[in-house]
């Protein structure tokens, strides 16, 4: 996310004026502070939303409603003909050949059901034929045909088709999911029209997707300052003591469902397990002395797969005794401030440690510091690294002995396609201390190529994840602002430009070069350039530029994210032959009302913070103490492999600091800057506050 400038001047003026007129040193001002976060803001800006989502009307939080039943997902591979090794076994469904998949369903009640099978098959579910329109990829299954326990799916050929159904080998499944070892075989083959059945060599890729509510989930709110109506405007605070707090949820709870509310409190604006309280029932929240911040957690439960509770809002009331600011504070005025908003992902993303021995060895062996030497900015540094990776080998699809997710192995072999370029850049960037992640996507109507694996890296300068196409060595920026795009922003632009903001229906997809859209909001930076330039290839120039405008990318409608980047320290699980197919079941999939649903996956999110979370930023608060000129400051962050906080006052330069410290003001303009430094020495964006002190 880009930096958000905190609008504080008017709010602070009003706050200090109110404090001076309503409080004295002898008698603190006692009041009841009431706050109700909009439910959408609570969902997006909180510490996470696990097993829940926003409802379709946008006025409440409900339980997550996707369940995938499969046996092949961890080990499924590709059956493309050009593969020499690791190719997935297949069975051609033709003539008297049938396949049977037994799917075990714990809870058959559902709002809807979809089957993922190859096109061109006739389907029976538990002995009943299911009518399927020709060409349907995700046929609708009548829920009434399903039963608790084992369900038999039998596939036979239609008169005009003989599709091949691929399967995952048991050893590939167990390699990625050892916990599945010992499970019964659930795939069978018949060559006599279904009279007799034999176990298959693996598990067929036949998956059942149920639209049903999960049994439980929860959402954690953003940090709420109990002592102020507006928890956004943070610069200088009035000291306050919270005597009591009350939480009042508004919910809808059908029979068999419930919403339970808890809260925890703390003395600092960013949750810190060592300093904050444990979760307490909402009706018994004890607020320790010095705690002015609160987070609530709403747990949603349901005993019925077709019913969900709805959390519409949570009102928070606090009885607050606000002390009068010390007399000297009336001589302080805030002139400017920037206070980072930390956005949290619900994905338990696993970060690679840049100082892991294999990362250190990668950095040393390939002299990565020399690769980026001379860079004049963070972006220049990453562009140099990207262009270096792009020129390490010639694009070659790995037909055999598919390489591991290991940059050293790939660089030693010197072959691979877009997947390998993305992996190498991700790991080299992380080795240099810049966290990066593996992202890919496709669009069936793309006019600039099909599916593609790329990278995003965290930019401290822009406060966001930034998209890089590594093997083609380019990225997109908005020429009006100079800000680079990430893939979610490009996805949004595809919806706007190619579908007019409406649902991306198949019959409305771009049909060819004549449908390409061009926009002044897009430009591209090729090779080692950090500003818009033209591609070196005449073909690329013709393809990407028209009348001085760059085309709007079209290939990033469906987005998929790997939920970790620690593949050197934790080699498994990984998808088999990533890039030859995208059938691995455990990607994180972006979903919204405009994007067609891909029913072969289980992990969907429409929460933007889950994708556009922030790292390495500092959020702070500051309070004038009883000592003239002394301001108590507290800092918090969400930074992988944090080394220390850094602070800077005046001309003293950056110094390491504890999260809490005292800032001593001098007469005139005072500026305090704060940032993080990770264990690789990479410094985060700057938060700051400027105050004028006239004693």
* Secondary structure (DSSP) of 279-292: PEEGGG----TT--
| Overall average pLDDT of the 569-593 stretch | 97
Q: Among residues 234, 243, 325, which one has the least CA distance to residue 30?
A: 243
In the predicted structure, residue 201 carries a pLDDT above the cut 80 = yes
Packing angle between helix 378-390 and helix 418-431, nearest 10 degrees? 140
For 282-300, the pLDDT digits (tens) are: 999 999 999 999 999 999 9
Mean of the pLDDT values across residues 486-511?
Answer: 96
Pairing label, strands 588-590, 603-605: parallel
Q: What is the pLDDT of residue 365?
A: 98
Per-residue CA distances from 638 to 504, 566, 686 (Å): 36, 18, 14
Question: Residue 363 in 3-state DSSP?
Answer: helix
CA distances from 127 to 74, 145, 151, 390, 444 (A): 28, 9, 10, 54, 34
The rounded distance, in Å, linking the Cα atoms of 603 and 588 is 5
C-alpha 185/C-alpha 168 separation (Å) is 12
Query: What is the structure's pLDDT at 324?
Result: 83
Average pLDDT estimate for 538-549: 83
16 pLDDT above the threshold of 50: no
pLDDT at 231 over 60: no
pLDDT above 90 covers what percent of the chain?
87
The whole-angstrom separation of Cα 412 and Cα 392 is: 10
Q: List, for residues 49-72, the tens digit of each pLDDT value.
A: 999 999 999 999 999 999 999 999
* Strand arrangement, sheet containing 149-157: 128-130, 121-125, 149-157, 98-105, 187-190, 198-199
pTM over 0.85: yes
* d(C-alpha 304, C-alpha 257), whole Å: 8
Binning pLDDT at 50, 70 and 90, where does residue 230 land? low
Distances (CA, A) of 271 to 156, 465, 581: 56, 23, 41
DSSP one-letter code for 514: G
3-state secondary structure at position 643: strand
């Amino acid at each position: 996310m880009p930096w958000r400038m905190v609008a504080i001047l008017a709010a602070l003026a009003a706050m200090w004026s109110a404090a001076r007129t309503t409080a004295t040193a002898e008698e603190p001002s006692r009041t009841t502070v009431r706050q109700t976060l909009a439910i959408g803001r609570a969902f997006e800006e909180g510490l996470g939303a696990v097993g829940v989502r926003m409802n379709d009307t946008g006025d409440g939080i409900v339980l997550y409603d996707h369940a995938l039943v499969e046996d092949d997902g961890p080990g499924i591979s590709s059956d493309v003909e050009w593969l020499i090794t690791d190719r997935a076994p297949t069975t051609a469904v033709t003539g008297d050949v049938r396949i049977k998949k037994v799917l075990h369903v714990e809870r058959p009640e559902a709002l809807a059901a979809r089957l993922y099978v190859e096109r061109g098959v006739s389907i029976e579910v538990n002995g009943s034929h299911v009518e399927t329109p020709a060409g349907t990829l995700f046929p609708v299954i009548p829920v009434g045909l399903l039963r608790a326990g084992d369900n038999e799916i039998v596939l036979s050929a239609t008169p005009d088709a003989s599709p091949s159904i691929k399967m995952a080998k048991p050893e590939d499944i167990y390699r990625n999911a050892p916990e599945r070892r010992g499970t019964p075989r659930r795939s069978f083959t018949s060559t006599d029209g279904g009279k007799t059945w034999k176990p298959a060599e693996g598990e067929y890729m036949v998956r059942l997707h149920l639209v049903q509510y999960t049994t439980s989930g929860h959402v954690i709110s953003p940090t709420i300052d109990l002592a102020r109506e507006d928890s956004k405007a943070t610069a200088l605070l009035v000291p306050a003591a919270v005597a009591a707090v009350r939480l009042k949820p508004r919910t809808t709870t059908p029979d068999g469902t419930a919403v339970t509310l808890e809260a925890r409190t703390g003395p600092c604006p960013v949750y810190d397990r060592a300093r904050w309280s444990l979760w307490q029932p909402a009706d018994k929240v004890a607020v320790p002395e010095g705690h002015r911040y609160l987070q609530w957690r709403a747990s949603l439960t349901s005993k019925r797969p077709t019913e969900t509770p709805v959390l519409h809002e949570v009102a928070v009331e606090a009885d607050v005794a606000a002390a009068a600011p010390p007399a000297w504070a009336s001589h302080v005025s805030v002139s400017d401030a920037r206070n980072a908003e930390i956005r949290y992902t619900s994905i338990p993303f696993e970060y690679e440690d840049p100082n892991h021995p294999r990362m250190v060895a990668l950095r040393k062996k390939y002299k990565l510091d020399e690769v980026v030497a001379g860079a004049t900015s963070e972006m220049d540094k990453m562009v140099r690294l990207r262009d270096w990776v792009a020129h390490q080998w010639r694009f070659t699809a790995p037909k055999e002995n598919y390489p591991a997710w290991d940059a050293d192995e790939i660089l030693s072999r010197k072959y691979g396609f877009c997947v390998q370029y993305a992996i190498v850049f991700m790991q080299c960037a992380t080795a240099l201390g810049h966290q990066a992640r593996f992202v890919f996507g496709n669009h069936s109507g793309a006019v600039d190529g099909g599916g593609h694996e790329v990278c995003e890296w965290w930019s401290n300068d822009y406060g966001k994840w930034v998209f890089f196409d590594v093997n083609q060595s380019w990225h997109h920026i908005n020429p009006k602002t100079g800000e680079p795009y990430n893939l979610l922003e490009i996805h949004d632009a595809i919806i706007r430009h190619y579908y007019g903001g409406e649902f991306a229906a198949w019959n409305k997809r771009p049909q060819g070069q004549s449908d390409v859209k061009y926009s002044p909001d897009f430009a591209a930076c090729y090779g080692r350039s950090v500003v818009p330039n033209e591609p070196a290839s005449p073909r690329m120039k013709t393809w990407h530029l028209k009348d001085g405008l760059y085309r709007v990318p079209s290939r990033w409608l469906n987005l998929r994210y790997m939920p970790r980047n620690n593949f050197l320290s934790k080699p498994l699980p990984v998808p088999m032959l990533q890039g030859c197919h995208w059938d691995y079941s455990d990607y994180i999939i972006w979903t919204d009302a405009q994007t067609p649903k891909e029913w072969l996956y289980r992990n969907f999110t429409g929460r933007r913070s889950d994708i556009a979370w922030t790292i390495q930023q500092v959020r702070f608060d500051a309070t004038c103490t009883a000592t003239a000129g002394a301001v108590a400051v507290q800092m918090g962050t969400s930074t992988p492999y944090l080394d220390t906080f850094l602070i800077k006052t005046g001309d003293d330069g950056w110094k390491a600091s504890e999260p809490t410290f005292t800032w001593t003001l001098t007469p005139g303009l005072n500026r305090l800057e704060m940032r993080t430094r990770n264990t690789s020495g990479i410094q985060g964006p700057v938060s700051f506050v400027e105050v004028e002190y006239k004693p």
